[in-house]
Structure formats: C-alpha cells, structure tokens
Structure 1
Amino acid sequence: MNGGDDAAVTAGSGPPTSLEWRFSQVFGERTAGEEVQEVDIISAIEFDKSGDHLATGDRGGRVVLFERTDTKDHGGTRRDLERADYAIRHPEFRYKTEFQSHEPEFDYLKSLEIEEKINKIRWCQPTNGSLFLISTNDKTIKFWKVQEKKIKKVCDMNVDPSKAVGNGSLASSSKSSSPSQFVANGLYADGAHNDFSFPPGGIPSLRLPVVTSQETSLVARCRRVYAHAHDYHINSISNSSDGETFISADDLRINLWHLEISNQSFNIVDVKPANMEDLTEVITSAEFHPIHCNMLAYSSSKGSIRLIDLRQSALCDTHSKLFEEPEVPGSRSFFTEIIASISDIKFSRDGRYILSRDYMTLKLWDINMDSGPVATYQVHEHLRPKLCDLYENDSIFDKFECCLSGEGLRVATGSYSNLFRVFGVAPGSTEATTLEASKNPMRRQVQTPSRPSRSLSSITRVVRRGSESPGSDSNSNSLDFTTKLLHLAWHPTENSIACAAANSLYMYYA
C-alpha cells in the first residue's frame, strides 16, 4: 500500500485509529453442504441516503428490501443511540419485503436471451412515506414504488345481538319500529326526527357489511419501464442530485433519462467508432457527481476516468478532465490492459474524490489533480505471479466493487475466499484490515462459481478451457477463486458494511 499526504479526504489532527470490526447479522446463510441456487446469488447492494433501508438484487431478478430496526426498538433517535454503548446497540436490520423486478426475456429480432439478473439498484428520493428505487438488468430499467397499503376486510355485519330478529337484524336503531307512527316529511307523531333509516324503521332481514382496514401490507408497484435504449449490456445507473434525472451506461453509450418520462432518453456520451474494428476501449462504470447535477464521471477498460460537464454541449464527446496513471516504461505485458480495466468507480460524499477499483488495486483520485492518483492500495498484488492461471479460469475478468465511508476516511473492496479489505486514507494511516464474510471468520465456505457475463467489456477474451487453480494471499493462506466477494456497500453515516457472499448478506460494524 502506498499513499501520500494528499490522500486525506477529511483533514484532522492525526490519523484515526484502526477500527475493530465485528460481525452483526447474516441473512440467507446456508447450512454446511447446502448447494446455492444460481438464481439466489446476490448481484447488487445499495443503502439509501438515510441508511435506514438496504436493497439487494439477485440473479433471479428479485429485489429484497431490509429496514433498520434498532432505532425503533430502542425508542430513541439515532443521536441518542450514538451516545449509548455502540457495541451493544449495533445496527440491526430486518427483512421488509421482496418483489420480482425482472423476468427472463428473449429478443427474437437479435436471437438474444436477456437474463433477469439485477445489475444495479439505486434509491430515489422517498415521498409521503413511500420508497422509490430503480433497478436494471442488461437491457431494461424499472422504476419501483414501495408503499404500505391498508388491507380492507369485511370484518362484521351490522348485527346488534339485543335486536336480532331470526336470522337477520335491525338495520338501525329507531325510536319505534312501527311504521304506523310515521307521518309525512319524515316526522313522527311527536314531531321528532329520530329515525334516519330508509325505509323508516329499517328492514329486519337486511344485513349490511362493515368494511374496516386494520392491517397494512407492503405493495411494490412498477411505475415506469425504461426500455429499448441500449444495444449493449447496461453496467451502471446513477441518480442525479436534482432528484429528477438519472443516467444509464452500457459498453459504448451513456443515456440521460427523466424519471417521469420513459419513452425517450438523451444520448450524452457515445464512444462507438465508425468501424467497430477500431474499437479499443469500452465504458465500464458511470456515476453522477453527488452534489453538482451537471457533472458525471465514467471509467473505461483502459484504466482511465473521464469527468464531463453537461453544460459544455449536448453530446459530451470531449471530457473536461482525464484521470489516468502513466504507464511505467518496460512494464507492459499481455495482461496489462486486462488488469488495468476499471470495474467500479464511486464519488466521495463531498464529491471531491473518486475511488476506482481495477483488478489489482484501489486508487483514490482528487478531481482537482489529474496527474495521477493521490493514493494507491494494493489488493491483489500477491496474485501477480498467477495471472496466467487467473486468465485461464476467467477470474481475471471478475468485476469487484468498491465503496467509501460516509466521512471519507476509509475505503473498502472485496477479494477471493469471501474476503473484503478496509484501508484508511487519512495522512499517516496504516490501517489495512482483512475480514472474511462469515459468522466464523476461520471457516471456509465452498460456493458455486459465478462467472461474469460475456460482453464487449471483455474484448480481449478468447475461447478457452476453464480450470480452477488455487492461489494464496499475502499471508500464504490458500485462496478459493470460486468464492468471491464482488458486491459491498458502506452505510452513509456510520461505520457499517453490508457485503454479499453468494446468496448470503453479511453485516459488519465497527
């Protein structure tokens, strides 16, 4: 790991102490020897802005929502909880609801099978107690509304036991049940308007149902479908800070959408060459700036990040800034471009920094300094001698995600054997923690191998035999390339991480 003094996202009096991470919860843990179904493998994780809700998507096209409960169960505000013993009242989530977001499809015009797998989930601004989010598979984006609805039930009939007549009942209580006392204009003999039933006195055999709504149920409804705008696989969606628009990116194009308009989008980036044989790089990830709705960044398979300003032109063919690390002379090899491909980028919360993940490293970039990253964190350097084996078993094409803590003092990413690593980025910090996603960190779990979908982003790929080759980490521990922690998310305001190992969702806190 190396980094400079510029690596601090938040200035402080000194480097913060290393965090002690503890296991919090697990959802969907398997018993020993239990096989994992392909459709149950988690493929996306996302916290909402408040951190009170968490969404996961899986390869079966399902979206599962979790909600935080410790703030409710203890009857206090989050500030009260922070004052309390955090080790006792750690973040707790519970299952909220799930719904089928996408179904498998077949494009008959292109003879193309479209998987239902959820590639990305992004939360939108909640309104009137309802939750909104967008989810996407390879081709279609959907806008979902999740709200509580009262269940209406016919719970009773208007039966008054004291006035029951046979099998029926009096429809209403009146001064007298004798119709003979009724006079014109609804007046009784004594001139009082005491009977408002119709007909006067009621019908003894008439029973009217009483509808009540006591229970509530969560209902997910698809509000809009944004389809037919991408020729290639969608790898990213990102909400704008204006709360009204979002972008979607595939291998060659980035489109701008309005949440309320599903039948048209604007193509703002197009890197497709006139001749596809001239194609040298593809878009791998894209994200809006968290504060400025006119700025966004996207990464490429050549290891570069481009910052673009939507105010410059309608089609952003030119970038306002380019971030790439200069190549070391004499270091080029067959694997150079493959391992340089950026699989994920994330803005820091204040928008000042961009975190990128390629196969070997995490890099932190200052958007005001395009000469090179301000810090580089080695994740897979110990695998460099095994690149041939990793190429043969397709592991070299695995796309690991990355995330930053809310205050920007730490970064995290995943690795093999269900490991994830946390690094400190403050000046002088030597924090580098490795944990295994498991209730028992010493236990090794065997999982179904998950191969990445074949798309334009693997333009250097060739047909070859698949094989599995064991490796080892920097501590000489054996690595299992069939188990990989690709997806993780950091709580926006607290030191809490959610990470996915196959079909299991693990929660850690510090």
Structure 2
Amino acid sequence: MNGDDEAVAASADPSLPLDWRFSQVFGERSAGEEVQEVDIISAIEFDHSGDHLATGDRGGRVVLFERTDAKNSSGARRDLEETDYPLRHPEFRYKTEFQSHDPEFDYLKSLEIEEKINKIRWCQTANGALFLLSTNDKTIKFWKVQDKKIKKICDINSDPSRAVGNGTIATSVNGGVPEANNSFIPGGISSLRLPVIQVTSHESSPVARCRRVYSHAHDYHINSISNNSDGETFISADDLRINLWNLEISNQSFNIVDVKPAKMEDLSEVITSAEFHPTHCNMLAYSSSKGSIRLIDLRQSALCDSHSKLFEEPEAAGPKSFFTEIIASVSDIKFAKEGRYLLSRDYMTLKLWDINMDSGPVATFQVHEYLKPKLCDLYENDSIFDKFECCISGNGLRAATGSYSNLFRVFGVSPGSTETATLEASRNPTRRHIPIPSRPSRALSSITRVVSRGSESSGVDGNSNALDYTTKLLHLAWHPNENSIACAAANSLYMYYA
C-alpha cells in the first residue's frame, strides 16, 4: 500500500492515525527575507462550508481565498460519485483582499488604536454574497463581499459616417477654435468627431463593502467575537465585559456579562475568550485568566453575573510557583461541532471538556512539556504571555494547536486514542520527526549552552531540536468537513491535508 492508499484508508477509518502532508503555501518567504510587521497574519477562519478561507493581518487587511478543486466546467461544486477518484488535497486560490481597519487615535484617552485584526468570523451567505465580521481592539465591522461584473470599453469608432448628431461637423477659422456663430455648419471642414463607444460586461470581480460599523461599546481591547446559531446576533468580549449585538443594529448593544469589580484593585481575573454554543442560541461560554470556563444561559437573566456551570481543573497538590497562575490562563476555547465538547488551550496544555461534566476535563494533552524548566526565560522575554489558539475537527475526533519554532501538534481526542503528531509549518512538515544521531550527554549539554548564550530566545524541544521562541504558530483553523488545517507562520499561510 503506497502513501496515497494509506491516506485514503485513514480517511475512511477515523480510528486510524492520519498521515499529514503539505498542500499549499501562500506568501512564503525566501531565505533571508525580512518580514514586515504589518504582513504578519493575526487571524484565520474557514467559513461554514469550508469553500472559503479568510485571514487578517496586523496591517488591518483581510485576505479571502476560495476553493478551486472538485468543480465542474460551470464553476459549481459537485459531489464525488463512486466513479470519481478521491481528491488528493483541497486546493485554494487567492480571491480578493480589502483594508478592513486603519490605525486610529483616541484623543480622549490619548490612546493609539492599532489596525491589527484580532478576530474574523463568517456569517451566513445570501444571494451568492459572502458576509463576515472583523474586529480590531475597539471596532467591529460587518462586510459584504460580492462578485460584480466589470464593464469595459470594447470598441471606439471614429468613422465620420457614424458620428453622432446626424453627421454634424464643426468648422474652424484659420485652423483655430471653431467660431461661435458657424461652429456647426453642414458641409464645413471636419475638425470634431464624436466617437461611438461600445461597452460590454466582462468577467466578475469580487468587491468588498462595509455594511455596518459597531463601535464605542468597549473600554478595553476586544479579544473575541462569535456568531450565534440564530444568524441574527453575535457577541463581542473584552477583558471585563461581553456585549450582545444584533447584526442589523450598529448603534446599540446589550451588556450580558460584567466582571468589573467595584474597585479595580479588587480585580482578580479577566475574560480571555468567549464563544457561542454551535446549536443552542441561548448558551455561550467564556474563559478567564484563572484557567476557569463558565457556561451561561441567556434565559436565566438579562445580566448573566451567575453562571450555570463552572469548568475548572481541581487544584494540584503541592507548592505553587510564581508562574502557576500565568500558565493556567486560558487563551482560546472552541466548541466541537455538535456542541457537547469544549476545547480549551492554556500555555502548556490542551484540554477537552464535556459540558455535562463539570468535575474536570475528560482529557488533557501536553503541548510542550519540555518548556517547564525554562519558564523563567519565557517570562523574561514575554513569551509566556503568548496566546495560542486551538481548533477541533468537524467530526470531533482530533484537535490541533500551535507551539514554537512554527510547530503545531495534532492529538486524537476520542476515548482511548493515542494518536499524536508534531509538524512544522514548511513544505516538509514532518522533517522534525527525523531522529538525530545519539550524542554523549556532555556534548549535548554544551551545545545547548552555546545556543542559549547566543540567543535568549532559543532552547531545545522534546526531540533535542533547536527551539526558537521568536517563531511561533499562534493561529490555525481546521476545515469544517475534511481533515485539512490552515495555519499561519509569520506572513505565510500553510495548508495541510490528511
């Protein structure tokens, strides 16, 4: 059985480990090329069908990609029949881009507002148009992207016999400007012809238009937006509050969660992420910097100060360190497609929760356990505050999250699964799995010391490979219907399939 046959067998049997392979890359850097800060990708999101992918960057731009494989001659998607060969991998192409946010300055607070896109969320499509929400630290925008036919001039006819105006022509005096009294005299010298212009519609081009702007509702930086399953409302969350919006109303929102204490010196935790339940429009979850996740029901009260369920891991026995609470902070949460399970990511681990069981996580996965001895170095260079995202497959059997050196890890989260894979954002995603020759421990330790002395942002990962804290894979997304992952490494978008 060759590699392609193994991949097909794995996709047919969900219990088999997946063989991940490189698919595509957009914006790959050449060796030694310097990356501009504004080009670094800061958000990734597939739409509900998986046929479109959106990325946002620190320069405030949103770039859209569309799927091109499995299309017939008319451009419409077709279902694979029994006679069709399985697709080798999904293929995407660049569709369009637009400037979503620009840098601003809050004169009342003397605060610069970055244009960086924090989150992108797709909304329901209608009449062939795409709709999505994008946000920076303060302002949310609702965009409509639709194909418009471009009209072009195909022919300009300047033949005197076809001139406009019943063949009227202008006369000039001494070759100069036509006189006012005899400018249009039939039979005069021809000096002015009005051409016949023919205009035809050519290929369509996507055009983005901002439909609404939701602003002036958050005093702190927006960290999350999430669409409701009702298709009419969405939430936005900052450090202390969660607001509920109607997509059709941009000048009013309702505050549904407020954790701001009466005195700010009593503040003990902040909101880090918020997500609507995928099927129940009355339920949502939000995480905190203390490592807890709260499930709230909008039917209980207008202001959801009290939660319906609290998910947190029981405190471990033994002494706590200065870094215990920092690494416990949840940076991202994602509901599984059916809504029963919830995935969370803190600095060191990935956890899977059953919303029907609040005694603790049903599974915990170590992402980069080898970093525990280096927490002091990570704190000094602020890497310990990096916010890694997580994603879960459409069938809920696997989850993925990122790490340093542009690595990301895929775990099997179904009961009894031991599947795990570590890949690098490159054209050869499994090259980090190549075993290195064994060396004496003394030589290995000396190499480690030299690397650490040369760069404070380096270390060694679990396979004794050099680890670079400056290259990190924070953002990734899983295709909703297939085993395909899109992830961002600096300004490059890498796509993998299994």
Q: TM-score, normalised by structure 1?
A: 0.82
Determine which of 335, 339, 346 is the counterpart of 1:347.
335
Q: CA deviation at 1:257?
A: 0.4
Give per-residue Cα distances to partners, 1:184-212, cap 9 Å, x unaligned.
xxxxxxxxxxxxxxxxxxxxx87654433
Alpha-carbon spacing, 1:83–1:343, altered in 2? closer, same or farther (3 Å): farther
Give per-residue Cα distances to partners, 1:98-144, cap 9 Å, x unaligned.
00000001111101010000000000001101110000000000000
Determine which of 290, 302, 305 is the counterpart of 1:302.
290
Partner of 2:385: 397
Q: CA deviation at 1:170?
A: 9.0
Rounded Cα–Cα distance in structure 2 between residues aligned with 1:245 and 1:169: 55
- 1:478 matches 2:462: no
Partner of 2:130: 131
Q: CA deviation at 1:152?
A: 2.4
Partner of 2:79: 79
Rounded Cα–Cα distance in structure 2 between residues aligned with 1:335 and 1:101: 37
Matches within 5 A, 1:24-63: 24-63=23-62
Q: What is the aligned-residue identity percentage?
A: 82
Partner of 1:240: 228
Partner of 1:155: 154
| Secondary structure at 1:72 match in 2 | coil
Rounded Cα–Cα distance in structure 1 between residues aligned with 2:151 and 2:89: 37
- 1:383 matches 2:371: yes
Matches within 5 A, 1:98-497: 98-156=97-155, 166=161, 168=163, 209-441=197-429, 468-497=456-485
Rounded Cα–Cα distance in structure 2 between residues aligned with 1:120 and 1:490: 15
Alpha-carbon spacing, 1:166–1:251, altered in 2? closer, same or farther (3 Å): same
Rounded Cα–Cα distance in structure 2 between residues aligned with 1:246 and 1:135: 12
> Which residue identity does 1:399 align to in structure 2?
K
Alpha-carbon spacing, 1:76–1:131, altered in 2? closer, same or farther (3 Å): closer
Rounded Cα–Cα distance in structure 2 between residues aligned with 1:355 and 1:349: 11
Rounded Cα–Cα distance in structure 2 between residues aligned with 1:127 and 1:389: 50
Q: CA deviation at 1:440?
A: 3.0
Q: CA deviation at 1:472?
A: 1.7
Rounded Cα–Cα distance in structure 2 between residues aligned with 1:442 and 1:307: 38
Give per-residue Cα distances to partners, 1:295-327, cap 9 Å, x unaligned.
000000000000000011100000000000011
> Which residue identity does 1:478 align to in structure 2?
A
Partner of 1:67: 66
Alpha-carbon spacing, 1:262–1:225, altered in 2? closer, same or farther (3 Å): same
Alpha-carbon spacing, 1:81–1:376, altered in 2? closer, same or farther (3 Å): farther
Q: CA deviation at 1:492?
A: 0.1
> Which residue identity does 1:80 align to in structure 2?
L
Rounded Cα–Cα distance in structure 1 between residues aligned with 2:263 and 2:463: 47
Q: What is the Cα-based RMSD across aligned positions, in Å? A: 2.3
Q: TM-score, normalised by structure 2?
A: 0.84
Rounded Cα–Cα distance in structure 2 between residues aligned with 1:365 and 1:28: 36
Give per-residue Cα distances to partners, 1:195-254, cap 9 Å, x unaligned.
xxxxxxxxxx87654433223221111111000000000000000001110000000000
Kindly indicate whether the alpha-carbon contact (under 8 Å) linking 1:15 and 1:428 is maintained by their aligned counterparts in 2: no
Rounded Cα–Cα distance in structure 2 between residues aligned with 1:221 and 1:211: 25
> Which residue identity does 1:18 align to in structure 2?
P
Kindly indicate whether the alpha-carbon contact (under 8 Å) linking 2:21 and 2:429 is maintained by their aligned counterparts in 1: no
Partner of 1:455: none
Q: CA deviation at 1:425?
A: 1.3
Alpha-carbon spacing, 1:151–1:479, altered in 2? closer, same or farther (3 Å): same
Alpha-carbon spacing, 1:21–1:231, altered in 2? closer, same or farther (3 Å): same
| Secondary structure at 2:79 match in 1 | helix
Aligned length: 440
| Secondary structure at 1:79 match in 2 | coil
Q: Which runs of 5+ in 1 are unaligned?
A: 1-12, 173-204, 445-466
The answer to which of 306-315 and 330-339 deviates more is 330-339
Rounded Cα–Cα distance in structure 2 between residues aligned with 1:389 and 1:81: 55
Kindly indicate whether the alpha-carbon contact (under 8 Å) linking 1:55 and 1:121 is maintained by their aligned counterparts in 2: yes
Rounded Cα–Cα distance in structure 1 between residues aligned with 2:308 and 2:218: 25
Partner of 1:183: none
Q: CA deviation at 1:82?
A: 8.7
> Which residue identity does 1:258 align to in structure 2?
N
Q: CA deviation at 1:169?
A: 6.7
Rounded Cα–Cα distance in structure 2 between residues aligned with 1:81 and 1:254: 46
Q: CA deviation at 1:167?
A: 6.0
Kindly indicate whether the alpha-carbon contact (under 8 Å) linking 2:163 and 2:196 is maintained by their aligned counterparts in 1: no
Rounded Cα–Cα distance in structure 1 between residues aligned with 2:83 and 2:217: 49
> Which residue identity does 2:44 align to in structure 1?
I
> Which residue identity does 1:264 align to in structure 2?
Q
Q: CA deviation at 1:428?
A: 1.9
Kindly indicate whether the alpha-carbon contact (under 8 Å) linking 1:414 and 1:484 is maintained by their aligned counterparts in 2: yes
Rounded Cα–Cα distance in structure 2 between residues aligned with 1:486 and 1:347: 18
